[in-house]
Structure 1
Amino acid sequence: MRFIHTADLHLDSPFLGLTSMPKLLWERVHSSTFTAFRKVVDEAINLKVDFVLISGDIYDRDQQSIAAIEFFIKQCERLNQAHIPVYLLYGNHDYQIVQDTGRLPMNVHVFGNRVMTTTLTLSNHDTVAISGFSYDQRWIKEDQVKKYPLKRNETWHIGMLHGATRQSQGNRYAPFAIDELIAKNYDYWALGHIHKHQILNEKPPIIYSGNPQGRHKNEAGQHGYYLVESQGNKLVPQFKPVAEIEWTSLTVNALPTNDLAEMERSLSQTIDGKLKKAPFQLVELTIANIEQLSPTIQHLLANGDVLEHLQDQNADNGKWWVYDLLLQPQDSLPSMTDLDEQYWQQAAKEVFTLANVAELTKSLAKDTDLAAKLTSLDLQQLKQATTQLLRRED
C-alpha cells in the first residue's frame, strides 16, 4: 500500500506584507499555494498511489474564492482520471456544514461533521478503514478522539484529525492526547492544523504533514507532504518537499567599507553563497556589527535605501529576494564571558518559536484578535529585544 498524507493547503492565502515585490515575483508567490498542491497531485499520479488524504484547511478562509474552488476541483478530477481516491475533511479555516460533495468528482470522499469511518479494498485485497470528521464551526473545544472507533478486522486503519494536542487551557481545535490516539490501535494518524511537519509518535506513526507551502516568515524551512508505504505489518512515512518558495533568515557581518556599491555587491555574493539550494528563497536579512560602517551607510541602511537597491538588483535572479533588512549592533548579543555566538544562535533558534511563545502567552490569548497577532509575531525582533534585556546590569 502507498498513499499520500497532506493537509493545510490554505489555497488562496493572501501573503500580506509583501507590497514592494515586483509584479511577476508577487504573482509567483501568490500562486505558490496552488503550485505546491499541483506538485502533490503530480507526484500522486506519477507514483500511482492508492489514495490521497487531506486533513483539513484546504482553503484559507471559510468563504472561498471561485478561483480556489475551481482549481481544487480540477486537481481532484486529475486524480479521478488516474483512478486515485481522495479522502478529505474540512478544518477550522474552511469549516462548513457537510451535506453533499457538490461539484467534487466521484473519487472524492468528504467526511461529515461527526466522526465517520469509510472502508476501501485495495487491488491486493487489503482492506483500509479511514476515520475522520469535518469541522462545522471555527472552534471545536471537545475532545473528538473518544468518538473514533477501535481498529477491528481491517488490514489497516487510519485516523484523520485536524486538531492540536491538549493544553492546560485554550483548547479550541479538537484537543487530543497522544496516548489516546495510540490506544485506538490504528496503523497511522494523519494530522492537520500545525504547519510544521513533525512526527509526534513513531509506533504507530502520528504525524503532522505541515502545509505544502509556507505562507509567512514564521513558516520558514521545507514544506511538503508525507509519502507513506507499507513495509510488512507497518506503515513507513517519508517527508517529500514540494514548496514553490521558502522563507529563510540570514545573518551576515557588515563589510568594513565606505563604498555602498561594494557593500551591496558583497551582500549579494554572500547570499548567493549561502543559498545554493532550490527552491526560490524569500530572505529576511540581518546585518550584524553595523558599527564598522560609516554613519552615511548606516543611515542608508536604516532608511531603507540599501534594501530597495538589493530588491531592484535581484528581482530577476531567479534564486532569492530580500523582503526585509534588519540591523544588529555588535553589542546585541549578551555580554557573557567567552560566549560562543554559534551556540547562542542555535539556542535562540530553538527557544524563539511560535509554539514556545504561544505556551508562555496562552493566558493572554483569550480573544481571537490577540491570538492572530501572536501568530504573526516578529520572532526576530523578539529575539533582539530579549538579548538586550539579558545584557542589562543587575
Structure 2
Amino acid sequence: MLIMIKVLHFSDIHLGSGFSHGTINPKTGLNTRLEDFINCLSLCIDRAINEPVDLVLFGGDAFPDATPPPYIQEAFAAQFRRLADANIPTILLVGNHDQHSQGNGGASLCIYRTLAVPGFIVGDNLITHKISTKHGQIQVITLPWLTRSSLLTKSKTEGLSLDEINQLLIKALEPVLEEEIRKLDPNLPTILLGHLMVNRARFGAEQFLAVGRGFTIPISLLIRPEIDYVALGHVHKHQNLNPNNNPPVIYPGSIERVDFSEEKEEKGYILINLKKGEVKWQFCPLPARPFLTIKVDISQADDPQTALVKAIEKKTIDNTVVRVNYQIRSEQLELINNSVIHDALKAAHSYTIRPEIISQLSRPRLPELGIGKSLDPIEALKTYLDNQEDIKDIKEDMLEAAQLLLNER
C-alpha cells in the first residue's frame, strides 16, 4: 500500500509590500505591515513543521522586486531556514518579481543555490526534479516565469504584436514541456509547479503589480494525465481552475493582502496529500490583516459631519486598514472637523480619508433617460436639452445638427 506524501503549497509572499498601509512599531523599529507579512509566512512554516509535511512548494514572488533591502531578505531567510533545520525539502520557484526587470535570472532567490542550503532547490528553469522524501519519491516539474527572451530570439519577435508574440511563445513552450512530461517516471506522483498566468484565471492585485509583460498559457497545456497536481503562483486570488480535480490546478493566492484590490479575498495556503493517481487538497486560511472601504455620500446631509461619523461607527474597524471615501459639496467643507473624524477612526490599524467634492454644476439624473427607458436619439437629446438652462439659446440649432448627422448615416 502506497503511503500518501504530504505537501504544503503557498505562493506570492511579496515580503516588503504595502508599507503605506502600516506604521512603525516603536518596539521593533519595523513597519507593522512587514510584521503582518512575516506573521503569515511564519504560520505557513509552522504548519509545515508541525504536520510535518514531506515537501514545501513555494510558487514564486518572494519580494516586490529582485533587489529587496537586506533586512527584508534576512526576515525571509530566517523563516525558510526553519525548513532546512527541520529537514523538509523545499522548492523555491522564480516568479516575475524575483527576476530583474530585464528578465536575466532570479537574483533574489538564486543565493539559496549558491549557499547550497540543504534540501533547497531553486526552480529557475524548466526541468524535472526527483525528490526523496520520508514517505517516498516525488517528481516536480518547475516552470518559472518565462519571458520572451527565454524562449525566442529578438529577431523572431521584431515588429510583432503582443498577441502574435504570445502565440509564438506558446508554440515554443509546448515541445519543451512535452519533452519533460515524456521523461517522467510513470510510477511516481508528479506535480507541476509553475509561476504562470493561465487563461481561466481571475486576477487579484497582480494585475497592478506585474513587472514587464508576460504571456497567458492555455490551461490545456497543464491538464495532463501524467500530472497529479498543478501548483501555481502569480495570481493573488485563491482559485481552482479545474474543479473536477483531474488534476487540481490551484492558485493558493498571496499570503497577505497587498492593497485594497484584495480587500475581499481570503488569504491562505494549500495542504496536499497525494500518491500516484490520487490527490486530496484543502485551502487553509491565514489571519491576514483586514482591509475595509467606507464609502458614503454626505452631500445631501443637513449635518454632514454627524452623517460621516455614523457611517464609520456602523463598521468594525479595530486593527483594520481603513479608507474613507466620502462625497461632499464644497460649501459643506467648513462643517467638517477633521479632528472628530480622526478620533472616530483611532481604533483602525491605519486609515486614509479622501473627500470627493461634488461639482455645483452637476445636475440630478433625468428619470426620462434612466435604464429601461426607450427613446429615439432625437427625443433623448431634446429631453436633455430641455433641462439645460445654460444652453437653451442654441437648443434648436443643436437638434437640427443632430438630425443632419442621423440622416447621413
2:224 corresponds in structure 1 to 183
What's the CA shift string for 1:172-192, capped at 9, x where partnerless? 425311011113631111111
1:285 corresponds in structure 2 to 324
Counterpart Cα distance in 1 of 2:357 and 2:371: 20
Aligned-residue offset at 1:328: 9.2
Aligned-residue offset at 1:132: 0.5
Q: Which runs of 5+ in 1 are unaligned?
A: 340-394
Shift in alpha-carbon separation, 1:22–1:14, aligned structure 2, 3 A: closer
Matches within 5 A, 1:18-37: 18=21, 22-24=23-25, 27-37=31-41
Counterpart Cα distance in 1 of 2:273 and 2:57: 13
Task: Give me the TM-score of the superposition, normalised by structure 2.
Answer: 0.65
The reply on whether 1:162 has 2:162 as its aligned counterpart is no
Aligned-residue offset at 1:135: 4.8
Aligned-residue offset at 1:327: 4.9
Contact residue 304 and residue 335 of structure 2 kept, 8 A: no
The reply on whether 1:80 has 2:121 as its aligned counterpart is no
1:118 corresponds in structure 2 to 129
Task: Give me the TM-score of the superposition, normalised by structure 1.
Answer: 0.67
Contact residue 162 and residue 173 of structure 1 kept, 8 A: no
Matches within 5 A, 1:1-394: 1-13=5-17, 15-16=19-20, 18=21, 22-24=23-25, 27-95=31-99, 96=105, 98=110, 101-103=113-115, 105-112=117-124, 114-125=125-136, 127-135=137-145, 142-143=169-170, 144=173, 146-148=175-177, 149-150=180-181, 151-165=184-198, 172-173=213-214, 175-183=216-224, 185-202=226-243, 203-221=246-264, 222-230=266-274, 233-252=277-296, 254=298, 256=301, 258=303, 260=305, 262-263=306-307, 265-272=309-316, 280-287=319-326, 297-299=332-334, 306=338, 309-315=340-346, 317=347, 320-325=349-354, 327=356, 336=370
Counterpart Cα distance in 1 of 2:241 and 2:351: 34
Calculate percent identity across the aligned residue pairs.
22
Aligned-residue offset at 1:99: 8.3
Shift in alpha-carbon separation, 1:9–1:331, aligned structure 2, 3 A: farther
**Alignment: residue pair count:** 317
Counterpart Cα distance in 2 of 1:328 and 1:259: 13
Aligned-residue offset at 1:309: 4.3
What's the CA shift string for 1:220-272, capped at 9, x where partnerless? 22222222233894323322232531333234565955273x44542332112
- Secondary structure of 2:274's match? strand
Contact residue 12 and residue 34 of structure 1 kept, 8 A: no
What's the CA shift string for 1:316-365, capped at 9, x where partnerless? x2x554324455979689974699xxxxxxxxxxxxxxxxxxxxxxxxxx
- When Rg is computed on C-alpha atoms for both structures, the one with the higher figure is 2
Contact residue 53 and residue 86 of structure 1 kept, 8 A: yes
Aligned-residue offset at 1:137: 6.2
Counterpart Cα distance in 2 of 1:312 and 1:216: 24
Contact residue 73 and residue 104 of structure 1 kept, 8 A: no
Shift in alpha-carbon separation, 1:217–1:152, aligned structure 2, 3 A: same
2:399 corresponds in structure 1 to none
1:344 corresponds in structure 2 to none
Contact residue 286 and residue 327 of structure 1 kept, 8 A: yes
Q: Which runs of 5+ in 2 are unaligned?
A: 100-104, 151-165, 201-209, 374-409
AA of the residue aligned to 2:140 = I
